[in-house]
Amino acid sequence: MVSSRTSCATEICVLSVSENRTGRSCLARVLWLLIFTIGWVLSLLAYLICSYALKYVKASKGSILSVLEPVSAALFSTVLLGESLEALQLVGIALALIGIVLLFERKVATTQTVLYLSYEIC
């Protein structure tokens, strides 16, 4: 058995290789079906939903929020698959989140300045 610190995908790969010595195993076919499903079906579905949703969001907000895709992937892999994040990955997540916060605050400050200037003109 594989240690508890490895992910579920690693365990499936190890089982697939160990049972595949006698020829084609059923587990190897299931593994390829899982790879196909995750790689094509779910990724394509997520891309189509994202493209559809971008019609209803301003381009500036859509581009800022697209930075959250790799951050959410890293966090979901940590929570759902038990993967561990290295220090450099945590720094990258922190920088991405700080960048998003700064961009949203800059947008709010710019909007308040424009409103203030338009109030003075009137």
* Helices vs strands, H then E, count in the chain: 6, 0
Grade residue 90 by pLDDT with cuts at 50, 70 and 90: very high
Instruction: List, for residues 43-83, the tens digit of each pLDDT value.
Output: 888 888 888 888 888 877 787 778 888 898 899 889 988 89
Domain residue ranges in the chain: 1-56, 57-122
Any residues with CB less than 8 A from the CB of 99 and at least 6 apart, and which?
Answer: 67
pTM here is 0.50
Flag the least confident range among 1-5, 22-26, 29-33, 84-88.
1-5
DSSP conformation class of 42: I
Nearest to 104 by CA among 42, 62, 61: 61
For position 9, what pLDDT does the model report?
53
